[in-house]
């Protein structure tokens, strides 16, 4: 976490409120780190579920990450949220982006092949197009929309051999919840990014604890080295660090281009699943992955019109 503070310190004013005056393109190295870390999360979840109940594992991930961030904020004397609106938004964000997203994500990984779960849980680029246009006026070009559809088609080619059923539905539900969380991130204007994320993780994790008690009863966890390492990675790297970096990018970047980077998460996830679990990709995998990479290149690469037009993009703040 020591390398996180300087990065966050350069962000003025915490999270953005609503629209971004002139959205920029996400920083490539930061996004590569996020996508690789998130891909590794699916491996850590699969390993940790051997030693802990599903909902309790998800709750521990959120609570540990939140406590770490709130403690860091306290050490750095960061300002606490004030007012009912601020806390109301943090609570809603916690319930959506943590309670629903984590529960559905963990359940999806339990019921599907790891690579397939990673694919379906990262449908965010398509899900965010219309809300980003309606809420923030981010008009999507036909070129970008077409590339996103092609990219998701490539992911489907990769995922189909992994099966479907309830696990597929839960993974898509996770993607919907994460999309809502990305959109809500822009509404938390004037709040410090570490404080807001830390408390939304604690609140969402607390709701997961209540759900875990109701569904699974008291926790029966085997605190093996495997579980401790899995939980530590998920909480610190896969949640605390990546969520802070993701929300910073959501504050400054176009949402369609930002979320397009998540297409790489399943690619890395499939590679890691093949190495760790021996999940052999099907024959369509190479075609699907190539399709994803081409679509990513089209979305991330600035168009001629966008490069030549230096006028700021005026966004709605409804």
For 9-51, how does the pLDDT look when each residue is reduced to its tens digit (9 = 90+)? Answer: 434 344 434 555 566 778 889 999 999 998 899 889 889 999 9
Which pLDDT belongs to residue 192?
A: 92
Which pLDDT belongs to residue 272?
A: 84
Among 43-52, 128-137, 241-250, 307-316, the minimum mean pLDDT is found in 307-316
Q: Which residue has the tokens 């359940």?
A: 107
Q: Which of 117, 125, 160, 132 is nearest to 146 (CA)?
A: 125
Within-domain flag for 140 = yes
Q: Give the whole-angstrom CA distance, residue 25 versus residue 21.
A: 13
Residue 253's beta-bridge partner residues?
A: 24
Which pLDDT belongs to residue 6?
A: 40
**Highest-scoring range by mean pLDDT, 107-111, 158-162, 237-241, 285-289:** 237-241
Q: Give the whole-angstrom CA distance, residue 209 versus residue 76.
A: 28
Which pLDDT belongs to residue 243?
A: 93
Among 31-40, 123-132, 234-243, the minimum mean pLDDT is found in 123-132
**Highest-scoring range by mean pLDDT, 18-32, 100-114, 186-200, 268-282:** 186-200
Which pLDDT belongs to residue 250?
A: 85
Within-domain flag for 30 = no
Which pLDDT belongs to residue 212?
A: 95
Residue of 263 and 84 predicted with greater confidence: 84
Residue 63 near residue 203 (C-beta atoms within 8 A): no
Full-prediction pTM beyond 0.75?
A: yes
Within-domain flag for 121 = yes
Q: Give the pLDDT band of residue 107 (cuts 50, 70, 90).
A: confident
Q: Which of 187, 172, 203 is nearest to 101 (CA)?
A: 172
Q: Does position 313 have pLDDT exceeding 50, yes or no?
A: no
Residue 225 near residue 50 (C-beta atoms within 8 A): no
What phi, psi does 244 have (nearest 5°)?
A: -60, -50
The proportion of the chain whose per-residue pLDDT surpasses 90, expressed as a percent, equals: 35
Within-domain flag for 229 = yes
Residue 179 near residue 124 (C-beta atoms within 8 A): yes
Tokens standing for 206?
A: 């607390």
Q: Give the pLDDT band of residue 115 (cuts 50, 70, 90).
A: low
Within-domain flag for 254 = yes
Q: Does position 311 have pLDDT exceeding 50, yes or no?
A: no
Sequence-separated (6 or more) residues with CB below 8 Å from residue 210 = none
Within-domain flag for 86 = yes
Where on the phi/psi map is residue 163: left (φ > 0), alpha (ψ -120 to 50), or beta?
Answer: left
What phi, psi does 198 have (nearest 5°)?
A: -60, -45
Within-domain flag for 32 = no
pLDDT tens column, 205-226: 999 999 999 999 998 999 999 9
Owning domain of residue 140: 46-302
The number of distinct structural domains making up the chain is: 1
Q: What is the mean pLDDT of residues 256-284?
A: 77
Computed over every residue of the chain, the mean pLDDT equals 79
Q: What is the mean pLDDT of residues 78-106?
A: 91
Within-domain flag for 262 = yes
- C-alpha angle 82/86/89, rounded to 5°? 155
């Amino acid at each position: 976490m020591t390398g996180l503070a300087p990065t966050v310190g350069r962000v003025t004013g915490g999270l953005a409120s609503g629209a971004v005056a002139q959205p920029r393109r996400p920083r490539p190295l930061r996004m590569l780190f996020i996508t690789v870390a998130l891909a590794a999360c699916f491996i850590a979840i699969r390993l940790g579920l051997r030693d802990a109940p599903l909902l309790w594992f998800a709750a521990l991930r959120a609570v540990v990450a939140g406590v770490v961030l709130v403690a860091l904020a306290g050490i750095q004397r960061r300002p606490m949220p004030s007012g009912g609106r601020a806390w109301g938004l943090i609570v809603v964000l916690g319930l959506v982006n943590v309670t629903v997203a984590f529960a559905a994500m963990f359940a999806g990984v339990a019921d599907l092949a790891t690579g397939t779960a990673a694919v379906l849980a990262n449908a965010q680029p398509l899900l965010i197009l219309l809300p980003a246009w309606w809420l923030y006026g981010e008009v999507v070009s036909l070129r970008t929309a077409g590339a996103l559809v092609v990219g998701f088609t490539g992911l489907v080619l990769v995922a189909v051999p992994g099966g479907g059923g309830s696990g597929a539905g839960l993974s898509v539900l996770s993607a919907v919840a994460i999309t809502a969380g990305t959109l809500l991130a822009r509404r938390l204007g004037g709040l410090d990014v570490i404080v807001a994320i830390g408390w939304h993780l604690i609140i969402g994790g607390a709701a997961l604890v209540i759900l875990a008690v109701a569904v699974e009863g008291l926790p029966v966890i085997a605190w093996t080295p495997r579980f401790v390492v899995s939980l530590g990675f998920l909480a610190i790297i896969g949640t605390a660090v990546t969520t802070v970096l993701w929300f910073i990018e959501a504050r400054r970047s176009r949402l369609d281009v930002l979320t397009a980077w998540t297409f790489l998460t399943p690619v890395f996830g499939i590679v890691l699943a093949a190495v760790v679990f021996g999940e052999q990709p099907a024959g369509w995998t190479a075609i699907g992955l190539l399709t994803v990479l081409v679509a990513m290149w089209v979305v991330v690469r600035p168009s001629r019109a966008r490069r030549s037009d230096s006028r700021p993009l005026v966004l709605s703040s409804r």
